[in-house]
Amino acid sequence: MSDFSDLVAGYHRFRSTGWVQQRERWSELAVGQSPKVMVIACSDSRVDPSQIFDASPGEIFVVRNVANLVPPFEVGGGRHGVSAALEFAVTQLNVSEIVVMGHGQCGGANAALSRRFEHAAPGEGGFIANWIGLLDDARDRVICEHGTGPEAARAMEMETVKVSIENLRTFPCIPIRENAGSLRIHGAYFAIADGLLHLLDEKTGAFKPA
């Protein structure tokens, strides 16, 4: 798939196969959605959560952005796209689980580690720099422990998940539901090179193959 015409051709294939085969399901979804799981993933074209988790339409509520980041709870300044999506999923859809999924070869994590957009102007990398600034403290921890080599790159990718989970819990609606047992949070990491999914053990901080 290389251009918009390929997308349109893909739509026609979907319309004549997948949509027809799940016609009853699509009729149900036309009434409303009730996903039980929210997935926060990277915008990277190689890591589509629906494909990785083999999910059908309506099963997961997905938010994707650079480096699968969740900002901390804050009420001032700017627009809050991730916060709005999180608020909607938790307080309106009442999802019972949230999965934050990082991945291998993440450009956002790499940019945070190298600070390559540090002096870029908005529109030329400055927006990216401001966004991945959420990882500044994690970057310092990673470099202190791993330096800046290949091990650091993978560690930085996994830190994006931990930072996002920590920030998730700054939203008042999250700990209330966690403490009540109505919401669970999971960390995951998908390795593009070998297709393996790793799950975060929050007690040890380690990621282990699913």
Tell me how crowded residue 125 is: count the other CB atoms within 10 A of its CB.
15
The verdict on pTM exceeding 0.85 is: yes
Residue 86 burial by Cβ neighbours in a 10 Å radius (0-12, 13-18, 19+): buried
For 171, residues 6+ apart whose C-beta sits below 8 A from its C-beta are 73, 83, 86, 87, 90
Rounded Cα distance between 141 and 97, Å, is 28
Question: pLDDT digits over 2-55, tens only?
Answer: 799 999 999 999 999 988 888 888 999 999 999 999 999 999 999 999 999 999
CATH of the domain at 80: 3.40.1050.10
Per-residue pLDDT at 37: 98
pLDDT of 161 over the 90 cut:
yes
Q: Note whether 108 and 18 are same-domain residues.
A: no
Please tell me whether residues 102 and 182 are part of one structural domain.
Answer: yes
Is the model's pLDDT at 173 over the cut of 90?
A: yes
Indicate the average pLDDT of the chain: 96
Q: Quote the pLDDT of residue 34.
A: 97
Does residue 189 sit in the same domain as residue 114?
yes
Distance CA(67)–CA(65), nearest Å, equals 6
SS (H, E, C) 83-147: HHHHHHHHHHCCCCEEEEEEECCCHHHHHHHHCCCCCCCCCCCHHHHHHHHHHHHHHHHHHHHHC
One domain for residues 12 and 110: no
**What span, in angstroms and rounded, lies between the C-alpha atoms of 121 and 143?**
25
Please indicate, yes or no, whether residues 10 and 64 belong to a single structural domain of this protein: no
Whole-angstrom Cα distance, residue 16 to residue 20?
6
**Rounded CA gap, 100 and 169, in Å?**
13
User: Which residue range(s) make up the domain with 21?
Assistant: 1-32
Rounded to 5 degrees, φ, ψ at 94 are 55, 50
Question: pLDDT tens digits, residue range 119-159?
Answer: 999 999 999 999 999 999 999 999 999 998 889 999 999 99
Residues 5 and 86 in one domain: no
Whether residue 106 sits in one domain with residue 4: no
pLDDT reported for residue 1:
66
The 10s digit of each residue's pLDDT in 91-119 is: 999 999 999 999 999 999 999 999 999 99
Q: Does one domain contain both 42 and 11?
A: no
Using the Cα atoms of residue 134, residue 176, residue 61 and residue 50 in order, give the sign of their dihedral.
positive
pLDDT score, position 149: 86
Indicate whether 19 and 48 sit together in one domain: no
Q: Domain tally for the chain? A: 2
In one-letter notation, the amino acid at residue 59 is E
- What is the tally of helices (H) and strands (E) in the chain? 10, 6
Q: Are strands 196-201 and 184-191 parallel, antiparallel or unpaired?
A: antiparallel
Mean pLDDT across the stretch 61-71? 98
Tell me, yes or no, whether 20 and 91 share the same domain.
no
Q: Which long-range contacts (CB under 8 A, 24 or more apart) does 195-204 make?
A: 197/52, 200/158, 200/161, 200/162, 200/165, 202/165
Same domain, 41 and 20: no
130 and 180 assigned to the same domain: yes
